[in-house]
Structure 1
Amino acid sequence: MKPTIVLVHGAWADASSWNAVATALREQGFSVLTPPNLLRGLSHDASYLASFVAQRTSGPVVLVGHSYGGFVITNAATAGDVRALVYVDAFIPDEGETVFQILGGSGSALAVPDPTTVLDIAGYPGAPEGDAEAFLKHDTVFDSFAQDLPEADRWLILEGQRPITLSANQTPSGAPGWRDRPSWAVVGTEDRVIPPDVQRKMAERAGATISEVAGSHVSMVSHPQATIDAILAAAAG
């Protein structure tokens, strides 16, 4: 029985970031789901994904996470019958780690003394005290997030980005699902958000099967075949 492939987007993205990957997998006979990642906080986001997987899938599942989506799949892996995890330009956190902690001092384009030089911060209704949403500035999208996409596609990312809360980046990860399941990691060697050496260290720690692609932080958009190949390998067990 072929596993269901569940593709989880990261911050400043949505399900459309998986379009090329989802289409190719569907054409090969896989059931594919691309749920929304709520980007409201790790416990909330992981609980939502776990509930989604439990209710919307039957049989084996391969969870795939991009960027912050790596945090979410790591913490939702006990849902349903998750057989494998695939990380694409993603965080692969260990227990207790946060986004800010992993990126601090890494050379990431987001790890700067004044975050407002790369992010626009805005309040949102019902936010806990001190929380806010973060949007990528124009130059951050064009130069660091999706620099290898055509200009028209970079504009679409900028205009349609889904913000992540500051609190989501500060929440410690729980027990990692990769300890009990095989994992794969696609490392974008031109990634300026999660530097490739950081991705490799996390992937090696998790015992992941690592592949590399000369792509930006959104390599599944610019070079989808690398992601497709990793998912097929994970699905084959």
Structure 2
Amino acid sequence: MTGAGQEIKNVVLVHGAFADGSGWRGVHDDLTAQGYRVSVVQNPLTSLEDDVAATTRVLDRQDGPAILVGHSWGGTVITEAGVHPKVAGLVYVSALAPDAGETTSQQYEGFAPTPDFVIDVGEDGYGFLNGDKFKAGFAADAADADAAFLRDTQLPINMAVFATPVKNAAWRDKPSWAVIATDDKAFDQAMLQHMAERIGAEITTVPASHAVYVTQPAVVAGVIVTAAKNATA
């Protein structure tokens, strides 16, 4: 509960790599139907600094404390941006969670590669998920039409972002929750569990693909509501 004894009502959603904010539609609709004020960040995916700046602009607009939510690469973004004074709690949705001084790439060390998650990198250093492997790697439990739309609306990411260390780790000072998709092909399951356990997150597991925020919006929204009810502003 907040210091005033009332539930936090603001939620800020941050997408990951190879996607834009439209995938949050189901979570947005679920939460707004419950009376939450939901904002969706549109990360440019050009650098960690740019994505943090985009998130900070949205956080600055909140009229009170907020729960900050990140999917996949968005976890790295909320780890840095979450030090914002309006952030009361963090929700990691099959998301990366580096510590201060660590890069995103370092989170993969010691874990098995995932053969279905194939990134095609162009000469300019930006990566798209391979079209032929997209459904299997990103959204295996989505309807074919929905997976095709996600594939065709991809937002490429500057691959250099994965080598950029974060300066701050908001999870060290703020309560965290994690949703782990047990059929996620973007990350080794042991990697997801390790990251969530290291940050002391309350963990919820759900049978879903990496696109869990699209295919299981009610579960994701439920964890966000739990965070809103239990974080202290």
> TM-score, normalised to structure 2's length?
0.91
- Residue 13 of structure 1 is aligned with which of 8, 19, 22? 19
Q: CA deviation at 1:225?
A: 1.8
* Higher mean displacement: 35-44 or 102-111: 102-111
Instruction: State the identity as a percent.
Output: 38
Q: CA deviation at 1:232?
A: 0.5
Q: Give the 3-state SS of the residue equivalent to 2:141 in structure 1.
A: coil
Distance 1:212 1:235 in 2: 19
Alpha-carbon contact 2:30-2:217 (below 8 Å) kept? no
Q: CA deviation at 1:37?
A: 1.2
Query: Structure 1, residues 155-176: CA drift from partner, whole Å, max 9, x if none?
Result: 1111110011011111112220
- Residue 28 of structure 2 is aligned with which of 22, 28, 33? 22
Alpha-carbon contact 1:134-1:165 (below 8 Å) kept? yes
Distance 2:190 2:110 in 1: 12
- Residue 100 of structure 2 is aligned with which of 72, 89, 95? 95
Distance 1:47 1:63 in 2: 14
Alpha-carbon contact 1:14-1:162 (below 8 Å) kept? yes
- 1:56-205 maps to which residues of 2 (within 5 A)? 56-109=61-114, 118-123=118-123, 132-205=125-198
Letter paired with 1:103:
Y
Letter paired with 1:100:
S
Instruction: Quote the RMSD (CA, aligned, Å).
Output: 1.7
Q: CA deviation at 1:47?
A: 2.5
* Structure 1 match to 2:201: 208
Q: CA deviation at 1:109?
A: 2.2
Query: Structure 1, residues 114-167: CA drift from partner, whole Å, max 9, x if none?
Result: xxxx2222245xxxxxxx110011233121111111111111111110011011
Distance 2:164 2:208 in 1: 28
* Structure 2 match to 1:235: 228
Distance 2:115 2:71 in 1: 16
Query: Structure 1, residues 191-212: CA drift from partner, whole Å, max 9, x if none?
Result: 1112222111111111110010
Alpha-carbon contact 1:145-1:216 (below 8 Å) kept? yes
Q: Give the 3-state SS of the residue equivalent to 1:74 in structure 2.
A: helix
Distance 2:85 2:173 in 1: 14
* Structure 2 match to 1:129: none
Distance 1:105 1:179 in 2: 23
Q: CA deviation at 1:111?
A: 9.9
- Residue 44 of structure 1 is aligned with which of 42, 50, 72? 50
Q: Structure 1 regions of 5+ residues with no counterpart? A: 113-117, 125-131
Q: Give the 3-state SS of the residue equivalent to 1:98 in structure 2.
A: coil
Q: Give the 3-state SS of the residue equivalent to 1:216 in structure 2.
A: coil
State how many pairs are aligned.
Answer: 224
